[in-house]
Chains A and B, each alone.
Chain A
Amino acid sequence: MNLQVRTTREGRFLLAALDGELDHHSAEYVRGTLDWEVDQQRGTLLILDLGGLAFMDSSGLGVILGRYRKIKSQGGEMAIANVPRGVDKVVQIAGLHKVMHVYRTSQEALREMKGGLS
């Protein structure tokens, strides 16, 4: 598999960092890994860190939007962070920033989302 998912939990927050290439081939693995984590706690607040992605196509958009719908339906929230330059054009074309928050870093996402809870 040319993609790795690293996850860290902090209460309701789930930080997931993707490393490698997110395409149709690796999408199923990402979907399964994230869904398993999200299902561990209802109302998960997911920060998806894309900083390690060397490649992403529309299959990656499908995974991101699919997780967003799932998490929102369970009363949670999701944001993406650290979008690499090579992936940004795909993110912009899809208008992901109109659907969910896009933060410069995971730390900024965590700070802002924690602020939104208080």
Chain B
Amino acid sequence: MFENEMNLNFLSLSENESFARIAVAAFVAQLDPTLEEINEVKTAVSEAVTNSIIHGYPHTNGFIYLNCKIKGDRMELAISDQGCGILDIKEAKQPLFTTRPDLERSGMGFTIMESFVDEIQVESAEGNGTTVRLIKRFKTAKRAIHSGV
């Protein structure tokens, strides 16, 4: 089985949202994804990183840790922060739920992540940060792996 892995650490600055999604998109490009699949990955990464910036580190800048593994036709992505944590994960995942209506947050971040990947797991503890794990299978990956791309 083809395997690959990369790690990125970056500060929780909004400038790094596009950096993170473009880096992950470039990394998974070796699986020969469709444009739609790439767009889904970029959107899910952007949601998770934005959550860490806004909710994880609301008053300070901290580091966001991104680990991306390719295992055959699967991408396993973990996006972590060491920030505030989520008080109630079940509530946070509800569509339209937001703790920051003052920032015009739509409350659709987790709903979009759930729609754009195959599996999502959220681990969080108050004061001890949050890790969002995203798993996605690429329909085109087998072709890329077999052709040695």
Contacts and interface: CB of A to CB of B under 8 A. Distances in A.
Interface stretch (A5-13, A17-25, A104-112): A17-25
A61 interface: yes
Query: Main SS of chain B's interface residues?
Result: helix
A63 B42 CA distance: 19
A2 interface: yes
A58 interface: yes
Interface in A28-77: 31, 55, 57-59, 61-63, 65-66
A24 B106 contact: no
A58 B104 contact: no
A61 B106 contact: yes
B109 A25 contact: no
B94 interface: no
A57 B47 contact: yes
A23 B108 CA distance: 13
B82 interface: no
A63 B103 CA distance: 9
Contacts of A58: 47, 50, 105-109, 112
A89 interface: yes
Contacts, number: 68
A24 B39 contact: no
A57 B115 contact: no
B112 A24 contact: no
Contacts of A89: 39-40, 115-116
A24 B50 contact: yes
Nearest to A59: B50
B42 A55 contact: yes
Nearest to B16: A25
B69 to A, nearest CB: 23
A62 B43 CA distance: 15
B15 interface: yes
Contact of B104 (A23, A55, A62): A62
Given A27-B104, A90-B112, A94-B106, 7 more contacts: A24-B17, A25-B18, A55-B43, A59-B105, A62-B105, A90-B43, A93-B115
23 contacts: A23-B14, A23-B46, A23-B50, A24-B46, A24-B50, A24-B54, A25-B15, A31-B104, A55-B43, A57-B43, A57-B46, A57-B112, A58-B106, A58-B109, A58-B112, A59-B105, A61-B108, A62-B104, A65-B106, A86-B35, A93-B111, A93-B115, A94-B108
